[in-house]
Amino acid sequence: MPIIEWKEDYLVGVQQIDLHHQHLFALLNATYDAFVNKDPAERLNSLFDELIDYATYHFSAEEELMRKIRYPELEKQRKEHGVFSEKVVEIQKDYQAGRKGISLEILSFLQEWLTVHILQADREIGRFLVSSNGRQTPGLLKDTKHVE
Ligand SMILES: [Fe+2]
């Protein structure tokens, strides 16, 4: 069973962000699978590294988009992304030094953080775009589902 399941509630309404989020979910589920199947630590750690690399890439893309649309909560988002990144770097350091491995606690933290962040912070980006009617960036909301 996956640790995180995609549902429509997670849609932000911006195709690029939604695709990134879905890929993050897939990577988290692959990491969780490796954990449950007791795969070798190197495999688990490399999946975790991939997840973190992708999250970093995604955060900068999301922040770039927020800059482009002059999103008023950009700073708040950057801070949240920063706190998350610090925490996962700590986790990476721990297993690189052989102090601590990936645990269910860590995977649950990622699951919880992602869902709360998407539902409470990222979805606001879509709402902002809908309320400003895509004025600044025509076409950005095209081909995506409407956000309530
Ligand atoms: Fe975000």
Determine the distance separating the centroid of ligand 1 and the alpha carbon of 96, expressed in angstroms. Answer: 27
Query: What pLDDT is recorded for position 4?
Result: 97
Indicate whether 134 pLDDT > 50.
yes
Indicate whether 142 pLDDT > 60.
no
Indicate whether 63 pLDDT > 60.
yes
Indicate whether 136 pLDDT > 50.
yes
Determine the distance separating the centroid of ligand 1 and the alpha carbon of 147, expressed in angstroms. Answer: 16
Tokens read off for 133? 């009617």
CA 83/CA 10 separation, integer angstroms: 21
Q: Which of 80, 62, 59 is nearest to 125 (CA)?
A: 62
Determine the distance separating the centroid of ligand 1 and the alpha carbon of 92, expressed in angstroms. Answer: 21
Query: What pLDDT is recorded for position 40?
Result: 96
Query: What pLDDT is recorded for position 148?
Result: 40
Around ion ligand 1, residues with a beta carbon closer than 5 Å are 62, 77, 122
Q: Which residue has the higher pLDDT, 3 or 145?
A: 3
Indicate whether 69 pLDDT > 50.
yes
Determine the distance separating the centroid of ligand 1 and the alpha carbon of 62, expressed in angstroms. Answer: 6
**What architecture (CATH level 2) is domain 8-131?**
Up-down Bundle (1.20)
Provide the b/e sequence for 93-129 (b: ≥16 CB within 10 Å).
eebeeeeeebeeebbeebbebbbebbeebbbbbbebb
Indicate whether 59 pLDDT > 90.
yes
CA 125/CA 146 separation, integer angstroms: 12
Determine the distance separating the centroid of ligand 1 and the alpha carbon of 123, expressed in angstroms. Answer: 9
Rounded to two decimals, what is the model's pTM?
A: 0.88
What is the residue extent of each domain of the chain? 8-131
Determine the distance separating the centroid of ligand 1 and the alpha carbon of 36, expressed in angstroms. Answer: 28
Determine the distance separating the centroid of ligand 1 and the alpha carbon of 125, expressed in angstroms. Answer: 9
Provide, rounded to the nearest whole percent, the portion of the chain with pLDDT above 90.
86
Using pLDDT thresholds of 50, 70 and 90, give the confidence band for residue 147.
very low
